[in-house]
Structure 1
Amino acid sequence: MSAWAWIRKTVWVTSLGLFLSMPALAASPTPAEIAKAKSVFADAQNVSARDADRLWGVPLYGRMLLVIPATRAVIANQPDPQQRLQPQDGVYVGMLPEDVVLSDAPTEWEGVRWTQLRLPMLPQDAGARSITMAHEMFHRIQPELHLAANATANPQLDTEQGRLWLQLEWRALAAALIESGPAQTQAIRDALVFRNQRHALFPGSAATEAAMEIVEGTAQYTGIAAAEPDAAAARWYAAADLVHPDAEVSFSRISAFMSGPAYGLLLDERLPGWRKALNEHSDLGAMLASTLHDNAKESADSRAAVYGASGLRIELADRAAREEAMQAQYRAALVDGPTLSLTALGRFSFNPSTAVSLGADGIVYLTFHAIARWGTLDVKAGGVLVSSDFSRAALPVPTTIKGSHLEGNGWTIDLAPGWSAAPATKSGNYVLMQSPR
């Protein structure tokens, strides 16, 4: 399984400070689920042992929560500080309460940080599973390494020009990974020329892209560097993902999965010790540029031809036309059309690969789950429009209201006590309101 296949399944959670209040044990994982979890724990421990603290000076393996989404059963590799999990067959079991978002992300609970993973969603392929686990285990230790940057979406990477110069950068990075000597240096120079061209087209994008590479790029670099048997294998794995991207997914939040490993592996070769100098404000591209010891100037357009830009432009023009039609559809439904407005979204999760940017109006996520003070939202189709700072959202108006249960096009809301959908100022629109006490 490539990184692209895992990305399509990955659920991101927006808050790393989730609180798990574990109730009395109501159900238990099955023996088969416990056996599977023990196998996952063993694989994770083996990946960490192979790394032997080489990358970051601390063990990757630590507290893990494996969750069965269908039953919300939890299997942990270590006891929780307050001993709410029960020991069973060498692991610790319990239930994930309804007010906790399911995710593949680090989770704060009882004052300690855990890696949470959805057990059935882990890759079946052993190599891809090891990379995924090392990636997610890195996220658990990321704050103590001072690499928890404030990363935001990069919608410019879903524009026609943004995707063009990003994919040219990726192709040049792939060439650099498999070349050596002067050919590698030229490929690195090309990658940086394409990167700079994109940043010039989209002011401010250099900082936001660099932050995402610190957050997700270093995690995926860690996954590949720790799980692959040697540096050559790691470079070829990373190169394959760079030259064969999934053309249908959004790049706005996931581009760092591709570029981060490439920059990290090249820095391993050309700038030993770079990880010790890394912090949340670092720019991996600038670090790699420091290894070029001449002032050679290259034209982005002339070098683009070497990497098949003509073919990319045709593909991306076709994609842009389809994207424009999709944006018009979502704008009609979620901006111009009658909507239900939400604020204070609480804790939520979403799949970043399905995002559709509507510019200043926000980003549409086709799947979305939120637990907020007004209730629980579940979007399975149709999409929800979310502002860039996640402070508000809009849904198509409800088609059915049955007491505290609301249903719309592809979504449901179960309202908390005292909340209801009320007409908004704009005719035909609704908002969620709390009744006066």
Structure 2
Amino acid sequence: MKQTFLTSFFFLFILGVKAQKQSISPDTISIFFDELKTASAKNITLWDKDLYGPTILIDPKTREVFSNEQDAEGILKQNGNIFSGILPPDINIANTAVNWSGKKWAMIMLPLSQNRQNRINLLAHESFHRIQPSLGFTLNNVENNHLDQKDGRIYLRLELEALKQAVRSSSEKELKQHLTSAFTFRKYRNTLYNGSEAAENLLELNEGIAEFTGLVVSGRNKEDARSSLLNGIDDFMKNPTFVRSFAYHTTPVYGYLLYNKDKGWNKKIDAKTDLTGYFIKAFKITIPADLQKAVEELYDDYNGKTIIKEEAEREERTKKLIAEYKLKFIQQPHFEIRFEKMNVSFDPRNIVPLEDKGTVYPNIRVTDLWGILTVENGALMSPDWDKISISNPVKTENKKISGDGWILELSDGYTISKDKDSGNYKLVKN
């Protein structure tokens, strides 16, 4: 991509954020930091590096931020053992790693789970993102739009059903049987979509390894770890789309099952590792030569008939939604905004790929040199991530412009103009 930008992919990812207004004490915040510090110290051999470092917890409603150390610019003020202040409006709120005020932070949204293990899991996940460049893992988040297609979804769901059975396995023979099925579904899926294996691998090396790290550092015992993996897959199946969140529920399962055999497997991989090939070799799996025949024979063992029926019905509903979005953001007059130096956060669970036209993000927040755009009713991101399209504006108040489910707060030096022929709006730099 030509322009430089930062992306945060977990906007409003934690359930319960929406309508809660919580008052949290500094003592409670200190407990959260201490939990992460203790868990990180116990698991320092996982990466031979301490996960604990600059961490900020933030209330997405008030933008009040709490940190475990002072920022470089002195924006945060000390309050007992922690530091607090208000995060500037040009910084997007997300569960991510972020460069701000002279430091690279792990950023996590409040409220945190009341379950201690779940809290530590999330904190460790984002802490891994903070240190992952130092471990040799590049920050990559690619769209796996094939996982919004009927067959892509079918064979991912079948893979996950096989992984659930692998987690429940009571013998090595049973474990290997279900892992073989999982990899067979995966390999067949990758034959259906060119480039899908590489795209999936990039997201799994990023989010999958981070979530595996969180799972290990959380300190769950064997029973709790199994329950967490199984419940996670079941919850994941309820997401409207899989394209950016599947890696949270594939790599952690493979990784955890291998961790039970080899505590150091994760230190043998790097940013160029083909995780699928690595796991197949590590588990000593033999993939059937005739993949299509193999998957047809395995359908019934993993709820295949129901999955295929559900996905056929979903495809019909999706076709209607795509037609509506095409009308709104392409065929009808619309407002196109090009990026200059963009930072974006969004909910990865409900995005809608729009064929070769880009991807619709129902909820997204963009900051750029031209200002702040907040969208709650859909926006079309271009395939190259160089522009975003929204519905035409309907109201202007000084520098605040609004339309159907969106608000644009313009910076000085920018205005909007309407093309008389097309009826489209565009951003103009004075």
Tell me if TM exceeds 0.5. Answer: yes
CA deviations on 1:39-58 (whole Å, 9 max, x unpaired) are 3212222322342x131111
Q: 1:74: Cα distance to partner? A: 2.1
Q: 2:247 and 2:421 mapped to 1: Cα distance?
A: 40
Q: Which residue of 2 aligns with 1:234?
A: 225
Of the candidates 398, 404, 414, which is equivalent to residue 403 of structure 1? 398
Q: 1:272: Cα distance to partner? A: 4.9
Of the candidates 325, 328, 332, which is equivalent to residue 333 of structure 1? 328
Q: Which residue of 2 aligns with 1:260?
A: 251
CA deviations on 1:234-256 (whole Å, 9 max, x unpaired) are 23421332355333421110000
- Conservation of the 8 A alpha-carbon contact between 1:374 and 1:416: yes
In the alignment, structure 1 residue 141 sits paired with structure 2 residue 131: yes
Q: 1:311 and 1:118 mapped to 2: Cα distance?
A: 37
Q: 1:303: Cα distance to partner? A: 1.3
Q: 2:254 and 2:388 mapped to 1: Cα distance?
A: 35
Q: Which residue of 2 aligns with 1:378?
A: 374
CA deviations on 1:29-82 (whole Å, 9 max, x unpaired) are x9844233223212222322342x131111222111122233322211112234
Superposed CA RMSD in Å reads 2.2
Which segments of 5 or more consecutive residues in structure 2 lack a partner in the other structure?
A: 1-8, 15-21
Q: 2:298 and 2:421 mapped to 1: Cα distance?
A: 52
* 3-state SS, counterpart of residue 369 of structure 1: strand
Q: What letter is aligned with 1:362?
A: G
Q: 2:373 and 2:285 mapped to 1: Cα distance?
A: 55
- Conservation of the 8 A alpha-carbon contact between 1:370 and 1:376: yes
Q: 1:150: Cα distance to partner? A: 2.6
Q: 1:311 and 1:257 mapped to 2: Cα distance?
A: 23
Q: 1:293: Cα distance to partner? A: 4.2
Of the candidates 149, 163, 169, which is equivalent to residue 173 of structure 1? 163
Q: 2:287 and 2:371 mapped to 1: Cα distance?
A: 58
Q: 2:184 and 2:238 mapped to 1: Cα distance?
A: 23
Q: Which residue of 2 aligns with 1:105?
A: 96
Q: Which residue of 2 aligns with 1:24?
A: none
Q: Which residue of 1 aligns with 2:196?
A: 205
Q: Which residue of 2 aligns with 1:114?
A: 105
* 3-state SS, counterpart of residue 257 of structure 1: helix
Of the candidates 199, 205, 216, which is equivalent to residue 214 of structure 1? 205
Of the candidates 106, 119, 123, which is equivalent to residue 129 of structure 1? 119
- Conservation of the 8 A alpha-carbon contact between 1:264 and 1:284: no
Q: 1:294: Cα distance to partner? A: 6.6
Q: Which residue of 2 aligns with 1:63?
A: 54
Which segments of 5 or more consecutive residues in structure 1 lack a partner in the other structure?
A: 1-5, 12-29
Q: Which residue of 1 aligns with 2:3?
A: none
- Conservation of the 8 A alpha-carbon contact between 1:263 and 1:285: no
Q: Percent identity?
A: 29
* 3-state SS, counterpart of residue 282 of structure 2: coil
Q: Which residue of 2 aligns with 1:309?
A: 304
- Conservation of the 8 A alpha-carbon contact between 2:54 and 2:104: yes
Q: 1:156: Cα distance to partner? A: 0.8
Q: Which residue of 1 aligns with 2:40?
A: 48
Of the candidates 359, 363, 372, which is equivalent to residue 359 of structure 2? 363
- With 284-293 and 194-203 compared, the bigger mean Cα shift is at 284-293
**Cα pair distance change 1:69/1:240, threshold 3 Å:** closer
- Conservation of the 8 A alpha-carbon contact between 1:263 and 1:284: no
CA deviations on 1:87-109 (whole Å, 9 max, x unpaired) are 22221122211221122111123
Q: Which residue of 1 aligns with 2:26?
A: 34
- Conservation of the 8 A alpha-carbon contact between 2:180 and 2:286: no
Q: 1:307: Cα distance to partner? A: 0.7
- Conservation of the 8 A alpha-carbon contact between 2:344 and 2:364: yes
Q: 1:388: Cα distance to partner? A: 2.9
- With 357-366 and 146-155 compared, the bigger mean Cα shift is at 146-155
- Conservation of the 8 A alpha-carbon contact between 2:10 and 2:96: no
Q: Which residue of 2 aligns with 1:23?
A: none
- Conservation of the 8 A alpha-carbon contact between 1:174 and 1:243: no
CA deviations on 1:285-312 (whole Å, 9 max, x unpaired) are 2111103547462611111221111010
CA deviations on 1:383-433 (whole Å, 9 max, x unpaired) are 000013321110010111233221110001111112111123751111011
Q: 1:8: Cα distance to partner? A: 8.6
CA deviations on 1:245-280 (whole Å, 9 max, x unpaired) are 333421110000000101111221345532121111
Q: 1:111: Cα distance to partner? A: 4.3
